[in-house]
Amino acid sequence: MGIRAGWVGAGLAVIAWVSVGCNGDSPTVDPQDEQRPGPPDGNEVPSPPPPDASTDAGTPPPEEDAGTTPDAGEPADAGTTPDAGEPTDAGTTPDAGTPPNAGPWPVDPVLDYTQAFGVGTPQSVGIDEGLNLWLLDGRRIGVLRPGDTAPKWTTGVGQARQSFGADSLAIDSTVICGGAAGRAYVGYRANEMQRAPGIEQRTYIPWPGEANYSPERFAEYQKGDLDAVRVQGDGSVVLEEHIWRTVGASNKDRQAGIHNTNDFHYEEDRTVLNCARVTRGAYRGDIYITTNHGVTRIQGLTYNSHRHPGWYLFEDGSEWGSLQCPYMHGLGIAPNGDVLVANEQMVGVLVPSAKLEEWDRENTWEGPTPWTFKGFNEKLNGQASDDYWRAFEQVKSGRYYLGSSEYGVWAMTPKSRSAGNWSKLAGLPTNGIQALKATDDGALYIGTSGAGLWRLEPDGTTLKQVPEVSGKRVLQLVYEPTVTPSMLLVLTDKGLTVLRGP
């Protein structure tokens, strides 16, 4: 991925390139490990300027099939007791007076699910096509099914079958995302790969029988990534598959997790940071995850990795630049199905095609999956400076909004394919933003890191706090528009609240 912004000196020359894959990135890695000593590899090609440049300024691996059983000495249902005690009020269930597609959950305009259903204070939530609610709490996965009065928890599934740590299959779990009915996807965190003797690229992993193969390094290669899990008839959760199936010929039948689709040797998507399910349109059911490297598209159990709005940094007269593609937290699905992504420095809008194998066919402004926008907020920072984007949404009016953990909420309307008109949203009590979600009524919900939940009205100027939602730190916003009234899941440090009707 290249050196981070803090290492940029005066007089650097910036040239935009495009890549399908690049080295991993971490703020803790020695900058020298981030250098690309030679030309871009076979997956990376130069990108021409945009047309308007003149105006632009399966079967799980055997070693991973044991994840359905809790660790030895741990009860099979270690988390079945709700964290917050017994449910107190399950809310108002749909009846004859509610719309026919209201779904199975209470239709109260605001309902605290931590109190009503005892869901506790999970770190991440999701909802699948069957309207099961999924909860993630460290090594525990909980499911609250329609008709349940409390979630059922299962511990030690998949990559979480070992205690978390640097020497285990994952350092921690990160996010959970609902998929098809009864299925969810669980993301994990792993350490960045380090360069090994005899290996030029830090993320290059030789397989058994290849030069420089190392059993220890190969074991490291299988850490982190993404599990697909299933809920059983009794409410317990089992591993369906550690995601490995891909459309890439290079990776065919290689059961080793999510890696560079073009060349399985490159270990780049080790940490999953965000996920989203497409809830409507031609590609309903598709899953997108963002990672330490880019955005990966998943259909069922098959993935294609990955895309990122990267750029090359040239300094000290180097012939070959250092590819910049930092951690990617921002992820949204536009009303028309475009995929909105934002890493620490760049933002981009991608148009998916009907064929999964075309997702990583990088041709920048043309081709089957073009960028319709790829740029940075020049009003806030230079291209080489981190903007700490955490969320990216498009509201009904067409305006884009990005949320930064350091710099607040910014509105953006493109003026070309690589430059935008940027303006900061005024009126919020904090610049710490963790989540955004556009809703069908034209509003934008804003999750802050210390001032609770806020709502920006469709007029784009009126801000209102949502005091009915408890908690000052909003962790996640999940929108389910397939039911009426729609559901907005608001996860905070105090638990889960669901709003109906935004």
Q: What is the 3-state secondary structure (H, E, C) of 277-346?
A: ECCCCCCCCCEEEEECCCEEEEECCEEEEEECCCEEEECCCCCCCEEECCCEEEEEECCCCCEEEEECCC
> What's the whole-model pTM score?
0.84
Q: Compute the distance between CA of residue 287 and CA of residue 304 in angstroms, rounded to an integer.
A: 11
Q: Which of 485, 477, 489, 490 is nearest to 502 (CA)?
A: 485
Q: Compute the distance between CA of residue 141 and CA of residue 139 in angstroms, rounded to an integer.
A: 7
Read off the DSSP letter of residue 125.
E
Query: Residue 139: its pLDDT value, please?
Result: 98
CA geometry: angle at 91 spanning 471 and 111, to 5°? Answer: 20
Residue 156 neighbours by CB distance under 10 Å: 23
Q: Which of 140, 173, 138, 351 is nearest to 273 (CA)?
A: 173
Phi then psi for residue 63, to 5 deg, are: -75, -10
Q: Compute the distance between CA of residue 383 and CA of residue 368 in angstroms, rounded to an integer.
A: 27
Q: Tell me how far CA of residue 132 lies from CA of 128, 139, 147, 244, 493, in angstroms.
A: 6, 19, 10, 25, 22
Query: Residue 484: its pLDDT value, please?
Result: 97
- Residue pair 224/158 in contact (Cβ under 8 Å)? The answer is no
- Residue pair 131/146 in contact (Cβ under 8 Å)? The answer is yes
CA geometry: angle at 420 spanning 450 and 45, to 5°? Answer: 105
Q: CA dihedral defined by 344, 348, 353, 355, rounded to 10 degrees?
A: -20
Which pair of structure tokens corresponds to residue 419?
A: 């430059």
Counting every residue, how long is the chain? 502
Q: Compute the distance between CA of residue 420 and CA of residue 401 in angstroms, rounded to an integer.
A: 12
Contacts of 167 (CB under 8 A, 6+ apart): none
How many Å separate Cα 417 from the centre of its chain?
A: 24
Amino acid at position 442, single letter = G
Strand, coil or helix: 217: helix
Contacts of 237 (CB under 8 A, 6+ apart): 141, 143, 154, 157, 229, 230, 231
Phi then psi for residue 244, to 5 deg, are: -145, -20
Strand partners, 444: 438, 456
- For CA atoms 194, 200, 204, 208, the dihedral sign is negative
- For CA atoms 2, 3, 4, 10, the dihedral sign is negative
Contacts of 273 (CB under 8 A, 6+ apart): 174, 175, 187, 289, 290, 291, 292, 327, 328, 329
Q: Which residues of the chain have pLDDT under 50?
A: 1-21, 23-85
